[in-house]
């Protein structure tokens, strides 16, 4: 399995069963979505920051709602949740995805910005890889993010939702990430991509991976 970060909450996950792209975004994010093809696209929210599936070539199957799916041997569970929009009682729908492929479980929290419910935690079933939204407005506070990682205990954590809020700082110095690293006492691994498989995860201890964004 090969994983690239395309920017914001969007990742390209290449597996033996096909290519998955999460949360393709529009130019409103301040980034330009790279030209990509995929077999499957997951969309966590209907907002254009997450749902620009038209930008993806090869006419992929698009999942944009909770439910159970099996596409080309890739199993996906969409878990209903919400994003708190900052005003009393105002929320928008957010779908959390649990993806099973190649013996690896991948959790993508979308733009969750509050602690997980007991029901969501039960359904997430301890993913090996976790895409974790950070940032006071665009995602979880460092405290909430650390709490979720302790509850889920993923092997590898990919911070997301921070690029367009910051300039050209080294990734581990970007404020939402540095706060999370301080809260968890983690030292990150930084690189252009990650290649991982089920056998690599057997003895893997929890680590934070910061992938360089391919969005411009």
Categorise residue 65: left if φ over 0, alpha if ψ from -120 to 50, beta otherwise: beta
Residue corresponding to tokens 């199993």: 75
Three-class SS of residue 149? helix
Is 215 in contact with 7 (CB distance < 8 Å)?
yes
Average the pLDDT over 12-26 and give the result: 95
Is 55 in contact with 62 (CB distance < 8 Å)?
no
Distance CA 76, CA 125 (A): 12
Distance CA 48, CA 32 (A): 13
Token pair, residue 103, equals 């013996």
Average the pLDDT over 20-31 and give the result: 88
Length reported for the chain: 216
Average the pLDDT over 15-30 and give the result: 91
Is 77 in contact with 98 (CB distance < 8 Å)?
yes
How much is the pLDDT for 164?
46
| pLDDT band (50, 70, 90) for residue 183 | very high
| pLDDT band (50, 70, 90) for residue 66 | very high
Q: Which of 20-24, 112-116, 142-146, 178-182 bottoms out in mean pLDDT, i.e. has the lowest?
A: 112-116
- The model's pLDDT over 115-166, given as tens digits with 9 standing for 90+, comes to 899 999 999 988 999 999 998 666 899 999 999 999 999 999 999 987 544 4
pTM of the model: 0.92
How much is the pLDDT for 89?
62
How much is the pLDDT for 203?
78
Average the pLDDT over 166-190 and give the result: 85
How much is the pLDDT for 171?
85
Burial 55-75 (b: 16+ CB within 10 A, else e): bbeeebbbbbebeebebeebe
Three-class SS of residue 207? strand
| Helix, strand and coil percent figures for the chain, each rounded to 5 | 20, 40, 40
How much is the pLDDT for 133?
93
* Domains delineated in the chain: 2-211 (3.60.15.10)
């Amino acid at each position: 399995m090969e994983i690239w970060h395309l920017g914001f909450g969007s990742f390209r996950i290449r597996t033996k069963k096909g290519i998955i792209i999460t949360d393709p975004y529009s130019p409103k994010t301040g980034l330009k979505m790279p030209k990509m093809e995929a077999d499957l696209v997951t969309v966590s929210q209907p907002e254009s920051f997450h749902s620009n599936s038209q930008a993806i070539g090869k006419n992929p199957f698009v999942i944009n709602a909770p439910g159970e799916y099996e596409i080309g041997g890739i199993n996906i569970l969409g878990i209903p949740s919400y994003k708190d929009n900052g005003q009393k009682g105002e929320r928008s729908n957010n779908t959390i995805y649990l993806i099973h492929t190649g013996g690896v479980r991948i959790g993508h929290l979308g733009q969750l910005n509050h602690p997980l419910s007991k029901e969501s935690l039960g359904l997430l079933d301890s993913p090996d890889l976790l895409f974790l939204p950070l940032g006071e407005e665009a995602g979880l506070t460092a405290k909430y993010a650390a709490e979720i990682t302790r509850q889920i205990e993923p092997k590898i954590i990919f911070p997301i939702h921070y690029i367009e809020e910051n300039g050209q700082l080294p990734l581990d110095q970007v404020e939402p990430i540095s706060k999370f690293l301080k809260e968890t006492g983690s030292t990150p691994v930084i690189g252009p991509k990650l290649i991982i498989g089920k056998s690599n995860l057997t003895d893997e201890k929890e680590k934070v991976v910061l992938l360089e964004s391919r969005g411009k």
